[in-house]
Structure 1
Amino acid sequence: MGSLIHSSPTLIQRVRPTAARGFTLLELLVVLVIAALLMGVVAFNAMPGERQALQNEAQRIALLLQLARDEAIVRNRPIAFEADNTRYRFLIREENQWQPLGQDDLLREREYSRAPIGLSIVPQLSADNGPLRIVFGREPVDKPFLLTLAIGESSVAIRADGVGHFTVE
């Protein structure tokens, strides 16, 4: 009986699977490839290209144009959007002069995230060679226009239909 007890642990040692000793080289390589791909995706999204930056800027301007149009109607005074190639701002007509809307948090002067930006508008709304200016009157209907922003080869357009809708194309 003593020999049977002695052989029993040896039999158990042979049947028990061996414990895992670590990762294989293939498993480590797969994890490294996945980590590198995830880092690449994060880096690509964290640093938008010219087209994405221009698209974001156009979305922001379209929303601000909508707000300026509504403010002109509510305040019963003309409000203008004025822009050059480095910044844009909103002005209000007071006592026959254009005054910046400095106290307004949303309609304050801003710089473009990437400057300089080329601007063009169709139809041409002003005859002078000064900064581009779009004036929103007190009436709910204005002239439709197409405002184009460009950086290098990339361009984005903001289309105004004249009744208060601004879309980015």
Structure 2
Amino acid sequence: MAPGNKPRPGSARGFSLIELLVVVALIAIAAATVTMAMRDPAEAQLQREAERLAALLETARAEARAAGLSVSWRPVRDASGDDFRFQGLPARIALPSRWLGAPVGVDIQRATALVLGPEPLIGAQSVLLRLGQERIWVTTDGMGPFEVRHDGGAAP
């Protein structure tokens, strides 16, 4: 016992209210951290793939504008092994054509082809991506960059 901290005769020993509140707060913070860290793996993979696709589309769009080329992006549904393809880019620019999460890849829905350039204004365009029950949009209004939007049930 610390000097000056002697219990009074007849008083009960135990924890103070402050000590109990600190412990409960630490437990709540730890539980919240664990809950936030435990994301659905399909949701996390789809988010990562959508952000990657948005970055690839912006890269191709910038190259199309800089070189004055007509560039487009298309989903591929053949035996080539590709999931999507950029058309019109010079051979020196080799952008990926597969999802990172193979063999369980992302399904491309509601997209035929996206026109990426050479015009600075390309018109509103969107792609719906799906993985399991998760759905996410990659969209642009034609003036701004492609961005990732979570599915609200309808096309943006």
Instruction: Give TM class, smaller chain.
Output: 0.5 to 0.7
What residue ranges of structure 2 are gaps of 5+ in the alignment? 1-31, 150-156
Aligned runs of 1:14-163 on 2, under 5 Å?
49=40, 50-84=42-76, 87-92=83-88, 101-102=93-94, 107-114=95-102, 115-121=104-110, 125=113, 134-163=114-143
For the aligned residues, what is the CA RMSD? 3.9
Q: 1:54 deviation in Å?
A: 0.1
2:96 alignment partner AA: R
Structure number with higher helix proportion: 1
Q: Gaps spanning 5+ residues in structure 1: where?
A: 1-40, 126-133
Q: Which has the larger radius of gyration?
A: 1
1:76 to 1:52, Cα distance in 2 relative to 1, 3 A = same
- TM (normalized to structure 1)? 0.55
Q: TM-score, normalised by structure 2?
A: 0.59
Bigger strand share: 1
Q: May I ask how many residue pairs the two structures share in their alignment?
A: 135
Q: What is the CA-CA distance between 1:43 and the residue it aligns to?
A: 9.8
User: Percent of pairs identical after alignment?
Assistant: 26
Is 2:147 the counterpart of 1:167? yes
Separation in structure 2 between the aligned mates of residue 83 and residue 100 of structure 1, nearest angstrom: 21
**1:135 shift after superposition:** 2.5
